[in-house]
Amino acid sequence: MAPGRPADPRVLVPLHIGGEPPALGQVVHRLAGDTMGTTWSVACVGPAGMRLAPVQAAILRVCQEVIDEMSQWAPDSLLCRFNRAPAGATQCLPGGFGRVLDAALQIAAASGGAYDPTAGDLVALWGFGPSGAAGTPGHRPRHDEPGFRTPDPDACARAHRGWQALGWQPGPRLLTQPGGAMLDLSAIAKGDAVDRVSALLTGLGLPHHLVEIGGELRGEGLKPGGQPWWVDLEPPQADSGLAPVRLALHGLSVATSGDYRKVYVDAQGQRRSHTVDPRQRRPIEHGLAAVTVVHPSAMWADGWSTALMVLGPAEGLAMAEARGLAALLVTRRPEGGFDEQMSSALRALLM
């Protein structure tokens, strides 16, 4: 490669690309908006004169359903009502909420608690999460504001009830509050919303589409002309020195967790991640900058990217190999620059 020339992108494609391309004359329609404290966008293939307003309204209804069920920022959501409930109170969860919680608990068990859906109050103690949301203490200053103090270990222990304490019966979808458990599904609910919108579009007769919510994506079908939905993975920084990664989303989803967008510097001038390790009850310190997971489900990609991010470079890669996860782990070097690790399942997608 000549000096100064950008590296050629690494190209990842599904192991199988099939199905018929869209009918002749169909075009790509694009919709976008705001939801869940972030942005969303949809590209879908349909007739040139297709009415888009009903599609957009249906997408917003699905997103609102996720908010009503699992938002930490909506005081009347089912999740916030559970967090306020007294010990012994039991709720029958809707199917979508139950599916997400069941997946979250499976990831928690498999990762040894590296991902823990009951870490909501612990995360809040470190200054992250919603301020003043129902079921959590009031406003806590951010780390870049005067007055922030590292939380006391005893306070962290009291705040973290632990996922094992939840009373969860998957069959009847009954969830029992053990007392003081604070659910936080923000690391997996956004991916679930992507999956729900994708299922909606397919149900509306729009099987060729790309859905994005807050950077989590899922692609189904093909574009006019037969190409899959191509996306470029965001590097941890523009001058990272890493070769670009281009991914064909065809029956696949992709989610990334990282510390390159949300980072603070503590009183000692040390860089700290916004990702909290529930096992240690403090922000991670192992230097992993980002984890990307490719999976058929955006929900599972979302949850596993968080778990691997907490586990770190060695444990995270070992977990990805053990679970057959297609994962890219990017580590920040102490002296500057980045290193990459690809799991076997991700390497299998390389062209």
| Residue 240 pLDDT | 81
Q: Which tokens hold the place of 324?
A: 């057959």
CA angle centred on 165, ends 75 and 64, rounded to 5°: 30
Q: Is the pLDDT of residue 148 over 90?
A: no
Cross-strand partners of 35: 38
pLDDT of residue 5: 53
Number of H helices, E strands in the chain: 9, 18
Topology of the domain comprising 89-176: T-fold (1.10.3980)
Is beta strand 245-249 parallel, antiparallel or unpaired with respect to 10-12?
parallel
Judge whether residue 311 has pLDDT over 80. Answer: yes
Q: What is the pLDDT of residue 80?
A: 95
- pLDDT digits over 194-207, tens only? 999 999 999 999 99
d(C-alpha 184, C-alpha 116), whole Å: 8
Q: What pTM was computed for the model?
A: 0.89
Burial degree of 1 (CB within 10 A; 0-12, 13-18, 19+) = exposed
Taking only the tens place, the pLDDT of each residue in 154-166 is 666 666 778 889 9
Q: In one letter, which amino acid is 127? A: G
For residue 348, the SS3 value is: coil
Task: State pLDDT tens for residues 17-52.
Answer: 888 899 999 999 999 999 998 999 999 999 999 999
Cα separation of 161 and 317, whole Å? 28
**Residue 162 to residue 337: CA distance in whole angstroms:** 36
Token representation of residue 155? 């306070």
As given in the structure block, the two tokens for residue 280 are 């240690």
Does the CA dihedral 159-164-165-169 come out positive or negative?
positive
Query: Confidence band (pLDDT; 50, 70, 90) for 265?
Result: very low
DSSP strands (E only) in the chain: 10-12, 27-35, 38-46, 90-92, 167-169, 174-176, 209-213, 216-220, 229-232, 245-249, 252-258, 263-265, 271-273, 276-277, 282-283, 288-295, 326-332, 338-342
> What count of other Cβ atoms lies within 10 Å of the Cβ of residue 318?
14
Does 273 score more than 70 pLDDT?
A: no
Residues 6+ apart with CB under 8 A from 145: none
Residues 272, 266: Cα–Cα separation, whole Å = 7
Closest by alpha carbon to 127, among 115, 117, 136, 116?
136
Domain ranges of the chain: 89-176
- Which residues, 6 or more positions from 139, have their beta carbon under 8 angstroms from its beta carbon? 131, 132
